[in-house]
Chains A and B, each alone.
Chain A
Amino acid sequence: MSLATKSFQAIHQFNSEGWKSSKDLKSQLGHLESELSFLSTLTGINIRNYSKQTEDLTGTEMTEKSIRKVLQRHRLSGNCHMVTFQLEFQILEIQNKERLSSAVTDLNIIMEPTECSELSEFVSRAEERKDLFMFFRSLHFFVEWFEYRKRTFKHFKEKYPDAVHLSEGPSSPSIVIRSASQPGFELVIVWRIQIDEDGKVFPKLDLLTKVPQRGRVPGCSCFRCLLNMPSKAAYFLWVSQGKNQKLEISLMYFSIKF
Chain B
Amino acid sequence: MEQANPLRPDGESKGGVLAHLERLETQMSKSRKQSEEPQSVQAQEGALGTKIHKLRHLRDELRAAVRHRQASVKASIANVEPNLAVEMSEQEVLEEKLENVKAVLQAYRFTGLSGKLTSRGVCVCINTAFEGNLLDSYFVDLVIQKPLRIHHHSVPVFIPLEEIAAKYLQTNIQHFLFSLCEYLNAYSGRKYQADRLQSDFAALLTGPLQRNPLCNLLSFTYKLDPGGQSFPFCARLLYKDLTATLPTDVTVTYQGVDALSTSWEEQRASHETLFCMKPLHQVFASFARKGEKLDMSLVS
Contacts and interface: CB of A to CB of B under 8 A. Distances in A.
B95 interface: yes
Contacts of A48: 104
Interface in B96-155: 97-98, 100-108, 110-117, 122, 124, 127-129, 131-134
B72 to A, nearest CB: 7
Contacts of A52: 103
A50 B134 contact: no
B48 interface: no
Contacts of B134: 91, 102-104
Nearest to A45: B111
A36 B122 CA distance: 12
A133 B112 contact: yes
Given A4-B76, A4-B77, A39-B113, 5 more contacts: A7-B77, A29-B101, A36-B104, A38-B117, A44-B174
Contacts of B116: 35
B264 interface: no
A31 B117 contact: yes
Given A15-B88, A34-B117, A35-B116, A26 B76 contact: no
Contacts of B114: 39
B87 interface: yes
Interface in B71-95: 72-73, 75-77, 79-81, 84, 87-88, 90-91, 94-95
B47 interface: no
24 contacts: A4-B76, A4-B80, A7-B76, A8-B77, A19-B91, A25-B91, A25-B98, A26-B94, A29-B94, A29-B101, A34-B117, A35-B117, A42-B173, A42-B174, A43-B111, A43-B113, A50-B103, A50-B104, A76-B110, A102-B133, A132-B129, A133-B111, A133-B181, A137-B112
B-side interface mostly:
helix
Given A29-B101, A38-B122, A42-B177, A3 B73 contact: yes
A104 B185 CA distance: 16
B198 to A, nearest CB: 13
A-side interface mostly:
helix
Q: For B107, B114, B116, which residue has the most chain A Cβ atoms within 10 angstroms?
A: B107
Closest 9 CB pairs of A and B: A4-B76, A130-B132, A133-B112, A50-B107, A102-B134, A136-B111, A104-B132, A7-B73, A25-B94
A75 to B, nearest CB: 10
A51 interface: yes
Given A4-B76, A45-B111, A129 B94 contact: no
A36 B105 contact: yes
B211 to A, nearest CB: 18
Given A8-B80, A137-B178, A103 B132 contact: yes
Given A8-B77, A38-B117, A137-B178, A131 B131 contact: yes
Contact of B87 (A19, A36, A91): A19
Interface string A111-141: 0000000000000000001111100110000
Interface string A137-178: 100000000000000000000000000000000000000000
Contacts of B105: 32, 35-36, 39
B132 A129 contact: yes
Interface of B: 69, 72-73, 75-77, 79-81, 84, 87-88, 90-91, 94-95, 97-98, 100-108, 110-117, 122, 124, 127-129, 131-134, 173-174, 177-178, 181, 185, 244
A87 B110 CA distance: 11
A39 B108 contact: yes
B38 to A, nearest CB: 52
B129 A32 contact: no
Contact of A137 (B122, B131, B181): B181
A102 B84 CA distance: 48
A102 B95 CA distance: 31
Interface string A1-36: 101110110010001001100100110110111111
Contacts of B173: 42
Contacts of A104: 129, 132-134
A19 B73 CA distance: 20
A195 interface: no
A49 interface: yes
Contacts of A22: 87, 90-91, 94
Nearest to B117: A35
Contacts of A3: 69, 72-73, 76
A39 B134 CA distance: 20
Q: For A33, A42, A132, A133, which residue has the most chain B Cβ atoms within 10 angstroms?
A: A133
Given A4-B77, A50-B104, A131 B129 contact: yes
